[in-house]
Amino acid sequence: MVTKVRVATMVVLLVLSFRACQAHLSSTFYAKTCPFALNIIRSSIRFAIARERRMAASLIRLHFHDCFVQGCDASILLDDSSSTSERSVGQNNNSVRGFEVINQAKAAVEEVCPGVVSCADILAVAARDASEYVGGPCWTVKLGRRDSTSAASASLASSQLPLFTDDLKTLIDRFKAKGLSKRDMVALSGSHTIGQAHCFTFRDRIYSNGSDIDVGFASTRRRKCPATGPNGDYNLAPLDLVTPNSFDNNYFKNLLQKKGLLQTDQVLLSGGSTDSIVTEYSKNPSTFRSDFAAAMVRMGDIEPLTGSAGIIRRACTCSAAN
């Protein structure tokens, strides 16, 4: 009986602890301490994307890669050249970008409110502002995250970030491990309506002569992606051939035509449990937009550091606190 009481007490404490952690995240977190923070970040992000449209996709992806490894703590921003840090893994190395844009936004905020706004929150806001700038959905960002004091390990990153070779079950399992559903996964994959991918990530697919890829599409992609590397490994191709710079639902329409660039794109429509979601989003852009926004909010809730945990960094690439 005593054991049961102890177990019950522990469960209650864990639930209360979780709720307390979540309670620290609020859209009005900086209302009194830095009321102009969101406007400053938005201006900085808009300026960066106006200079380079591709940056919108890069910032959304940067937030995703941060949250999936060690939680949404801006650990990916730390300038750690070590071969054992998260930046060194294949999913990130020579791939994730936008660090300088976040640094500039942080510097602008620091001039007005030094030591108040975390890099983790700037990442979350930047992803929202990037989506909105290129015609995507806008959502209310919950704030109050704090920054980690160290980068995540390479082994952790490599085991938790999706690979471009993952099959559907593996993808579903990776997202489930982060508290995200299949529907969240498909909605978030829709961010591939913008952005570009390196040749080496889709080379096998376009030269496979498989039945799951449109012949004409494969032929077009081969023009700038040679059959063997390393030559051309880092040549870029848009993930969405139709409207590569606008956030819309053409990504899902492309999948119906077997024109998904990555294996992990086309596998969403391959006779599996996500087929119906892809079809729904291809027909209902408003549903996709609302689901994407909701999924981004849920992703932003992954293991945040709040309260006295973590720090507020002076600069996003440095682990020193303010």
d(CA 226, CA 320): 44
Structure tokens that stand for 31 in this block: 């209302």
Q: Is residue 65 flagged as an active site residue? A: yes
pLDDT one-digit tens code per residue, 12-53? 444 444 444 444 899 999 999 999 999 999 999 999 999 999
3-state class (DSSP) for residue 83: coil
Q: Which of these ranges, 47-56, 174-183, 285-294, 313-322, has the smallest mean pLDDT?
A: 313-322
d(CA 303, CA 211): 40
Rounded mean pLDDT, 151-174: 94
Cβ contacts of residue 266 below 8 Å, gap of 6+? Answer: 205, 212, 213, 255, 258, 260
Other beta carbons within 10 Å of 179: 12
Rounded mean pLDDT, 242-271: 97
d(CA 155, CA 224): 32
Beta carbons of 322 and 313 less than 8 angstroms apart = yes
pLDDT band at 322 (very low <50, low <70, confident <90, very high): low
pTM here? Answer: 0.91
Residue 260 has pLDDT above 60, yes or no: yes
Q: Which of 118, 162, 125, 160 is nearest to 140 (CA)?
A: 125
Say which residue, 71 or 17, is predicted with more confidence: 71
Tell me what pLDDT residue 7 has.
43
- Set 63, 65, 192, 198: catalytic member: 65
Tell me what pLDDT residue 83 has.
66
Residue 202 parent element (H or E):
helix 199-206
d(CA 312, CA 310): 7
pLDDT band at 84 (very low <50, low <70, confident <90, very high): confident
Residue 74 has pLDDT above 80, yes or no: yes
Tell me what pLDDT residue 265 has.
98
Residue 9 has pLDDT above 60, yes or no: no
